[in-house]
Amino acid sequence: MDIFDKVVAGVVAAVVGAFSAFVFGYLNGRIANKRSSIIKLEEHLTDILDELAKSTIEYWSVEQSKLDNPILIESNIKFLFRKLEPAYRSLSYRHGKISAGKHNKIKNNIGELYDIITGDDFEGARRKSNVRKITRSCGKISTLKLDIISIVHVD
């Protein structure tokens, strides 16, 4: 091998090495970005669920006439539900590997939670307090939080 061939081989090796390092760094960055956005979505979802639990307890623990401003809590509950399912949909899309069984379980639980909290005499002028709604919805919220945490940190 003459000196020219050695120089060419060296340059090629350097270029290949640099390119490999670039690709490795790029892929690593993408994986880290994806992980970071999944964690942010998980936090967003658990924040919505925590807020929903708080509002549910505040709303269903007393009858309508005893609340100072029921419309405020009702609007907040409706707003949280408007954000809950789309937030889960974003997490599911970003994660990309949620099993069909767990995905359906979470979606069903969100739907059932909506029926429990905003069903029956929700926004009713003569609404009564309902402790059963509180226990059922808080149970569902705990299940949802556990499922979401397990998707992000275990599955």
Partner 1 sequence: MRINIGKDFSDTPAGRFRSDGKHSGEAFRDDLLEKRLSEVAEDEKLYIKIDDVEGYGSSFLEEAFGGLVRKGKYSSIDLLNKLVFEFEDVDFEFYKKKIIEYIKDAK
CA distances from 118 to 93, 111, 137, 145, 147 (A): 27, 11, 11, 20, 22
Cβ 41 vs Cβ 106: under 8 Å: no
Q: Which residue, 17 or 124, has its beta carbon nearer to partner 1?
A: 124
Binding mask 2-41 for partner 1 (x = CB under 8 A): ----------------------------------------
Does 43 bind partner 1 (CB under 8 A)? Our answer is no
Nearest Cα residue to 77 out of 106, 61, 109, 54: 54
Whole-angstrom Cα distance, residue 132 to residue 61? 10
Binding mask 91-120 for partner 1 (x = CB under 8 A): -------------------xx--xx--xxx
Q: How many H-runs (helices) and E-runs (strands) does the chain carry?
A: 4, 0
Q: Which residue, 118 or 143, has its beta carbon nearer to partner 1?
A: 118
> Segment 57-86, which members bind partner 1 (CB under 8 A)?
71, 74-75, 77-79, 81-83, 85-86
> Which residues would be at the binding site for partner 1 (CB under 8 A)?
71, 74-75, 77-79, 81-83, 85-86, 110-111, 114-115, 118-126
